Amino acid sequence: MARVVVVGSINMDLVTLAPRFPAPGETILGDRFVTVHGGKGANQAVAAARLGAEVALVGALGDDAFGAPLREGLAREGVSLEHVATLAGHSSGTASITVAGGENHIVVVPGANAQVTPAQVERAQAALARADAILVQMEIPLETVEATLRLGHRLGKPVILNPAPAQPLPLDWLKLARYLTPNQHELAILLDATPDEDFLSLMRRAPAPVVLTRGADGAWYRDGGEPTHQSGFPVEAVDTTGAGDTFNAALAVFLHEGVPTAVRKACAAAALSVTRLGAQGGMPTRGELDTLLAAQA
């Protein structure tokens, strides 16, 4: 069983389903509203657990009405919460999400996620030292992202940096990652590139190996040689929220099988994840993933 440590955010997702996205200044009537558990860190932890990994999460919740149900949801999925703090006087992270035509718009308010500290990561050192892979994203303070990269590197553990939401990062931080997992847009921001530079050229000059997600088109990966393409798995998309998180989790869980296999499994898991509503709603179990892979073999 792979051991995965996730350092990242936990959010309550406030999801509105609408026939289309409103224009700026416009009000439209939506179809449905649901409250579901999300946050890139929590999503990656849940996806890895469903795929059979032993998972520990490092993060923070508020002591508001969302904190307890978010903690209970993670516990039900079997995620270890020893390093998830509940912070008095803070609200939990929220994401206001509009879903229309299978696409989404998201506004995140970090709340307690903004209080996840480098010291918290240091306190989780024993868990990181036991991990086969470490996942970190960018909905927590950048100093904590840096601390995770540095500690993972010092321990000789592969750290997968999912640079989302993206912002430019110092090259010496990026070099500490075993893999960067942006989409095309995020890679351009991360490397402070001009909009006309194509993603293959960005992948070639990135300071660490890149696994680039391309939605329905699958993924490209480069670990030294030339970029290689992995096709996507065709499915009917209901909600793409959390697809990237499922991809990252599967990459971490199957990394020990080699990058080509891990990327293929990550594309399959991400495809399954978009077939149901909610970031965590469609995340597959190991059995569901194996069934899809066997059907496509």
Please name which of 268, 280, 11 lies closest in space to residue 165, comparing C-alpha atoms.
Answer: 11
Segment interacting with ligand RIB, rule: CB under 6 A, options 36-44, 196-204, 228-236, 258-266: 36-44
Catalytic residue list contains 196:
no
| Listed ranges 5-13, 61-69, 170-178, 205-213: which one lies at the site for ligand RIB (CB under 6 A) | 5-13
Alpha-carbon distance 261 to 286, whole Å?
Answer: 15
* Footprint (CB under 6 A) of ligand RIB, residues 244-283: 244-245, 279
Min. distance of Cβ 36 from ligand RIB in angstroms? 8
92 binds ligand RIB (CB under 6 A): no
Neighbouring residues of 12: CB distance < 8 A, sequence distance ≥ 6? 35, 36, 37, 38, 66, 69, 70, 92, 93, 94, 95
For ligand RIB, the closer CB: 73 or 207: 73
The strands making up 80-87's β-sheet, listed across from edge to edge, are 80-87, 54-62, 3-7, 133-136, 159-161, 179-180, 210-213, 219-222, 228-230
The two three-digit tokens of residue 45, written as one number: 């932890």
Stretch that binds ligand RIB, among 37-45, 185-193, 220-228, 269-277 (CB under 6 A): 37-45
Beta carbon of residue 243, minimum distance to ligand RIB (angstroms, whole number): 8
- Of 3, 4, 7, 39, the one binding ligand RIB (CB under 6 A) is 39
Nearest to 197 by CA among 182, 187, 208: 187
For the annotated catalytic residues, the residue numbers are 245
The residues of the shown chain that bind ligand RIB, judged by CB under 6 A, are: 9, 11, 13, 38-40, 43, 95, 106, 108, 139, 241-242, 244-245, 279
